[in-house]
Amino acid sequence: MIIVMAVNASEPQVQHVLDRVGELGFQTTVSRGVERIVIGLIGDESRLNPDAIRACEGVNDVMPVSKPFKVVNREFQPHDTIVTVGDVTFGGDGPWPVIAGPCSVETPEMMIEVAHAVKASGATMLRGGAFKPRTSPYAFQGHGELGLQYLDAARKETGLPFVTEIVDPADVGLVSKYADMLQIGARNMQNFALLKAVGRSHRPVMLKRGLSSSIDEWLMAAEYIASEGNTQIVLCERGIRSSDNQYTRNVLDLAAIPVVKKLSHLPVIVDPSHGTGKRYLVSPMAQAGLTVGAHGLMVEVHPRPEEAWSDGPQSLTLELFAELMRDLRALEASLNSNKAIAAAR
Ligand code: PEP
Ligand code: MN
């Protein structure tokens, strides 16, 4: 249920409603918009008589929430959540943050080389996997803590904050000690123990969409994190499975971007690298994702993709990344003048 307060509701009226629902055992989230205050209720709704709340001074209406996700629901919080990672912000109308770096953290020299190059081209954050969830147990699993130290060294050299994947709830403390943002990968989107653990951490989280997840399942995964208290969550559309994986690794679900923006106040970014699996598709699909309203971009970049320890075929070279960044600047300017696109975004 949500309680929509009247435009001119006073603070004591809001407090009275909060006290009433508190007595009934509900947890609340209060969203203070420019126009009005919306109170979200979390708890057993059978115990609530909506008319008793409607009768309170300053209440405009009491409405059921149409979806099972609550804290991340835009009905609960009409304004966009802004997620902050150092100086980088995700959400709202600001410039697009761009996260770039290799799939796996390989050597310290390579991390520093790629960090300098992507920063020079305009990237605002670095990425790289130190813990790799690989389909095969025989594939490179990542350097673990050593990889986090290589990322830390690249951050010290360039000032770029970094996001890195976490695969085990037991590692939240370790990874949070180094990382500016924790990534939950597609394979772990419904690892509920992991979601709860990052929900209790104080680091922003990037939540990738699961390999074959519906949009509701994805938002329910975000709800697991948010319901533990951490609402600094960035959603990441990275493509879903289809019957054809010969020409593209996944189907990048572009329509999901404006859909989740309608359903949720959380920012959403696009990952065309895992979304396509092919280098030549990364730039056009990055631009498509941003055109339909993604708040930012994550791409895999490698100085020598043919030597990459993982995901070489989808990694941009340093030159192609620089070219993409030039194209994005032009795109950002032209999009603001297109009304139809603006409406969908
Ligand atoms: C990654 O970002 O390197 C990764 C493993 O992504 P995904 O979880 O989307 O496959
Ligand atoms: Mn990868």
Residue 184 domain-assigned (yes or no): yes
Write out the residue range of the structural domain in which residue 173 sits: 83-344
Q: Count CB-CB contacts under 10 A for residue 317.
A: 16
Residue 15 lies in a domain: yes
The alpha-helical segments, DSSP class H, found in the chain are 11-23, 50-54, 108-121, 145-158, 172-178, 192-199, 215-226, 256-263, 272-276, 279-291, 318-335, 339-344
CA atoms within a 13 Å half-sphere pointing along the CA-CB vector of 198: 35
76 part of a folded domain:
no
Instruction: Determine, yes or no, domain membership for 262.
Output: yes
> Edge to edge, what strands does the sheet with 37-42 contain?
27-32, 37-42, 2-5, 59-63
Whether 235 and 100 map to the same domain: the answer is: yes
Whether residue 254 sits in one domain with residue 161: yes
CA–CA distance, 114 with 35 (Å, rounded to integer):
46
**CB under 8 Å to 126, separation ≥6 — which residues?**
99, 100, 101, 114, 115, 118, 151, 154, 155, 158, 160, 161, 162, 163
**Which band of pLDDT confidence, cut at 50, 70 and 90, is reported for residue 202?**
very high
Q: What is the structure's pLDDT at 338? A: 76
Considering only CA atoms, which residue is closest to atom 9 of ligand 1? 186
**Which pLDDT does position 2 carry in this prediction?**
92
Ligand 1 within 6 A of 185 CB?
A: yes
Domain-embedded: residue 71: no
Q: Give yes or no: residues 212 and 106 share one domain.
A: yes
Same domain, 118 and 241: yes
Looking at the structure, do residues 54 and 93 belong to the same domain, yes or no?
A: no
Pocket test residue of 271, 300, 316 for ligand 1, highest count of atoms within 8 A of CB: 271
Residue pLDDT, tens place only, 23-37: 999 989 898 888 889
CA distance 264 to 158: 34
Is 136 found in the same domain as 38?
Answer: no
Atom of ligand 1 nearest to the CA of 298: 2
pLDDT tens-place string over residues 323-332? 999 999 999 9
Same-domain status, 42 and 186: no
Please tell me whether residues 36 and 183 are part of one structural domain.
no
Query: 189 and 299, same structural domain?
Result: yes
Q: Residue 34 sits in a domain of what CATH number?
A: 3.30.70.1140
Q: Determine, yes or no, domain membership for 217.
A: yes
Helices and strands, number each (H, E), in the chain: 12, 14
Residue 301 near residue 286, CB atoms below 8 Å = no
In a 10 Å sphere around its CB, with 0-12 CB exposed, 13-18 middle and 19+ buried, how is residue 145 labelled? middle
Number of domains in the chain: 2
Q: Both 147 and 11 in a single domain? A: no
Q: Is the CB of 103 under 6 A from ligand 1?
A: yes
Q: Are 51 and 133 in a shared domain?
A: no
Tell me, yes or no, whether 73 lies in a domain.
no
Task: Tell me: do 218 and 143 sit in the same domain.
Answer: yes
The string of pLDDT tens digits covering residues 163-177 is 999 999 999 999 999
